[in-house]
Amino acid sequence: MEENGWVVHNQIIGGRWGGDKDIFGCVDLVAKKSLSPTVWVQASLGRMIGKRAERFARVPWGGGDVVLLVIGMKERNRIVDRIYYLVNKSEMIYMGYVDKGVIKINMRLREMKGVYVRDDIWDVLIDLFGN
């Protein structure tokens, strides 16, 4: 993200006090770019998705927020990171996955532009994923 002009803040892992260091209890990373909505990212394992969804629902996300959830799922003896965009408190759209450090975008996303994903948010997602 930083290579594409985003300023990124990561949550602090561990520390001498221990405990959950997630921002708002559900976000690992915040990114900002001039004239773009704020991007919030949570990375989690698949088994934690229910707990994360509850925490996401407590935050009053607004029109200027892009919330992404990266879920590590076990597939064929390896972990695959699947990326979802949080449309609202109860709906997510599958964006793509990470394969050997490269993001592979869901090609059906183009059909969603202006329907499930606002045009301005679409532009941010394309900027983030580079497609």
Spatial contact of 96 and 104, defined as CB atoms under 8 Å apart: yes
> Between the CA atoms of 28, 112, 47 and 41, what dihedral angle is there, to the nearest 10 degrees?
0
| Cα–Cα dist 99/107, whole Å | 15
The pair phi, psi for residue 2, each rounded to 5°, is: -60, -30
- Above 70 in pLDDT, residue 73? yes
Q: For 80-103, what is each residue's pLDDT tens digit?
A: 788 887 777 777 777 888 877 777
pLDDT over 90, % of the chain: 2
Q: For 13-67, what is each residue's pLDDT tens digit?
A: 555 555 567 788 888 889 898 888 888 888 877 776 777 777 888 888 887 788 8
**Domains: count for the chain:** 1
For residue 22, the enclosing domain spans 2-129
